[in-house]
Amino acid sequence: MPDLIDSKKTRRRLPRFELVAGDVCLDFINTLDDRFRDEPKELLKSYVDLARFGEDSGILTAGQTDHLFQQSYVQPREAQHALAAAIQLREVMYEVFWALVHRKPAPPATLFTLNEYIQDAAQHFKLAPAKGHFEWRYEDAPNDFLRPVWAIARAAADLLASENVAYVRACSSETCQWLFLDSSKNHRRRWCDMKLCGNRAKFRRFYKKQKRASGAQAK
């Protein structure tokens, strides 16, 4: 994954997004929260939200984020187009990964669109020397509104072409179903985050058990 930045050293703002998926492309898919409810919660309401995701996930530095903030107010139409492209990328990634999780073939039209994003991203990366080795970096351009989109598309390509794609899971919580990369030792992780959905599930099981026990005592 190119240009992954140590966000702890560069962040100026408190994190806005819950990044628990283990891969930036899966975290990005999860920016549509409550996807399966009647009223899903859109976390990318503006271009600023997209840039903030870039900073939180480490694909943008704080300086790059500040620059994109400023440019989004100077060129709102271009920023809005980039946001629309990011949301389209998110949805085609979701369809591809969701199909894989359920052991179904990815829809050809969706995979075609994803490949278009990946190919476009590839045009904006270059090899650059870095302390005795080389690394992938973005090309410099004055108004790179699509910079986070390129990085996310590249991350999706890397994950899909790796052995780790077999460990992409959907959260077992029916009210969540966020995608995540299962990096546990036995690859039997069920929840996107044990502190979130895992603890809620444990509480529900405990509550049902207590309710059954109370009912039995009443008889």
Structural tokens at position 149: 């989109």
Structural tokens at position 125: 């990366």
pLDDT in tens, the chain (219 residues): 444 554 444 556 788 899 999 999 999 999 999 898 889 999 999 999 999 999 999 999 999 999 999 999 999 999 999 999 999 999 999 999 999 999 999 999 999 999 999 999 999 888 888 888 998 887 776 678 999 999 999 999 999 999 999 999 999 888 888 999 999 888 888 888 867 674 444 434 433 444 444 445 555
> What does the DSSP assignment read for 35-46?
TTSSS-EES--S
Q: What is the pLDDT of residue 217?
A: 54
CATH architecture classification, 7-187: Orthogonal Bundle (1.10)
Q: What is the pLDDT of residue 219?
A: 55
With left for phi above 0 and alpha for psi between -120 and 50, is residue 37 left, alpha or beta?
A: beta
d(CA 111, CA 194): 32
Residues found in the chain: 219
Q: What is the pLDDT of residue 169?
A: 95
pTM of the predicted structure, to 2 decimals: 0.83
Residue 61 phi, psi (nearest 5): -80, 165
d(CA 136, CA 138): 7
Strand partners, 129: 134
Give which of 39, 46, 214 is closest to 145, Cα–Cα: 46
Q: What is the pLDDT of residue 218?
A: 53
Q: What is the pLDDT of residue 12?
A: 65
Q: What is the pLDDT of residue 139?
A: 75
